[in-house]
Amino acid sequence: MDISESTIRNLRKKSKSWLAILTYYSARGKVNLDTFSQRLRSLFEPALKPDILKEAVKDAIPETIEIKEAIGIKKRIMSRLTPDKVYRRMLNYPQIPGKKIPVKDRTNSFTLGKLLIAWAVLTDQIPRDFIGRVSSNVTRLYIVWRDSTGCLGLSDEECYGHPKESAQLWSGIYRTLIRETPAENLVHFIHVGIKALGVVIGINGLEKEIYNLLGQASRFVAEDVALKIESALKGNPNARKRINIPELKALVLREEARLGWSKHTEKDALKTLRGSLSPELKEAVDNNEEAIRSSMEAVGRRGLLNNLEAALKGQLKPRFIDSIWHFLQSLSSKVTSEWEFETSSLIKEQMVSMRQWLFRR
């Protein structure tokens, strides 16, 4: 089974809608985390079926790869391990729920030295030679970490306590490991890892475990995003006012109905939008729902996240007004008048005479 590009695009669009709707309800102070967690899970659950994952793993990277391509893969990995990206992707979630096990015997802790040996073994390199190539750089990175944080260790608590310094440290270490590993060894390691992942996916009962983890991840992401949105809104109270407008509400109701996330209908969205119109525009629209419906469709095609941005800039309401006027003018230009007259016997006689004259020989 294959996941088409259109499926991925639709998933991205729906994810953006999820984010925009969460932002709207955050502005109103009416966020139900259970609801948004379930909505997020419903988006990704269809794409995480074991048969789909197996195909994705199988097609992740070709079995044979030229050295030029291997070097390209190595460069792409390096580009994704900059300090800023490490900070955003890996070290910005200190509140991930999990059971913390106290370290009783620190002599058995996983150290930097053990990490270097493990990496050398996994990538089929001689540990002594590899450590000789990277030790000076790793030592320098650690000294910078120690001097800037005052921490002697690298525990989760210490790294989470100093996220920026930690990002600098781990970005440097990761990039050192990748840089000093030959491209062909790196690709071979990736192949082995993907094959191992394929074996794991084939284990019976894994589907239930995947969905269980997806539920936990969805809950965490929903809560984390909601906290970040709320923090941003507190820092900019005017943004809350700009978001909490009927025009955006109408689009949210429309999108929730379209995605099957609520009992709202298109009529609810149209009613909300009509209620936001000025008395003059209401009078112009009268009972004509077509202009409002067409405007809703036209503006809605921009995407809910883009319309949220327009609302923040104060552009959404004017956009709706212009759109409605446009459709009103379009409808009025299509109106045609038909004049009807009684046909008397005199007119019939004249018409006969006229036809005879027109078609005379």
What are the residues whose beta carbons fall under 8 Å from the beta carbon of 202, sequence distance 6 or more?
50, 54
How do residues 103-119 score in pLDDT, each as one tens digit? 455 556 778 899 999 99
CA atoms within 13 A on the CB side of 359: 5
| Cα R_g (the chain), whole angstroms | 32
- Do 67 and 188 lie in a common domain? yes
How do residues 301-330 score in pLDDT, each as one tens digit? 999 999 999 999 999 999 998 888 888 887
- Do 118 and 196 lie in a common domain? yes
How far is 93 from 8, CA to CA, in rounded Å?
Answer: 26
Longest Cα–Cα distance in the chain? 119
pLDDT of 67: 85
Neighbours of 207 (CB within 10 A): 15
Residue 227 lies in a domain: no
- Do 32 and 158 lie in a common domain? yes
Residue 339 lies in a domain: no
- Do 161 and 80 lie in a common domain? yes
Q: Give the pLDDT band (50/70/90) at residue 359.
A: very low
Nearest Cα residue to 134 out of 80, 102, 95, 176: 176
pLDDT of 207: 79
Residue 40 lies in a domain: yes
Average pLDDT over residues 24-34: 94
How do residues 292-303 score in pLDDT, each as one tens digit? 888 999 999 999
How do residues 134-166 score in pLDDT, each as one tens digit? 999 999 999 999 999 999 888 888 888 888 999
The full DSSP string for 232-276 is: HHHH-HHHHHHHS-HHHHHHHHHHHHHTT-SS--HHHHHHHHHHT
- Do 197 and 272 lie in a common domain? no
Q: What is the pTM assigned to this prediction?
A: 0.68
- Do 174 and 308 lie in a common domain? no
Residue 342 lies in a domain: no
Residue-averaged pLDDT of the chain = 83
Q: Give the pLDDT band (50/70/90) at residue 28.
A: very high
How far is 16 from 135, CA to CA, in rounded Å?
Answer: 44
Residue 336 has pLDDT above 60, yes or no: no
pLDDT of 57: 76
Q: Give the pLDDT band (50/70/90) at residue 337.
A: very low
Dihedral sign for Cα atoms in the order 95, 96, 98, 103:
negative
Residue 239 lies in a domain: no
Nearest Cα residue to 22 out of 252, 218, 250, 264: 252
- Do 146 and 33 lie in a common domain? yes
Residue 291 lies in a domain: yes
The region of weakest confidence among 50-59, 104-113, 179-188, 267-276 is 104-113
Residue 107 lies in a domain: yes
How do residues 159-186 score in pLDDT, each as one tens digit? 888 889 999 999 999 999 999 999 999 9
How far is 319 from 326, CA to CA, in rounded Å?
Answer: 11
How far is 361 from 355, CA to CA, in rounded Å?
Answer: 12
Nearest Cα residue to 229 out of 3, 83, 22: 22
Asked whether the beta carbons of 255 and 229 are under 8 A apart, the reply is no
Residue 41 has pLDDT above 90, yes or no: yes
* Residue whose pair of structure tokens reads 């005879």 in the numeric block: 356
pLDDT of 211: 85
Residue type, 42: S
Nearest Cα residue to 170 out of 72, 85, 76, 110: 85
Domain count of the fold of the chain? 2
Range of the domain at 302: 245-333
How do residues 217-265 score in pLDDT, each as one tens digit? 899 899 989 999 999 999 998 999 999 999 999 999 999 999 999 888 8
Domain boundary among 201, 235, 260: 201
Residue 45 lies in a domain: yes
- Do 20 and 118 lie in a common domain? yes
* Residue whose pair of structure tokens reads 């689009």 in the numeric block: 251
- Do 13 and 156 lie in a common domain? yes
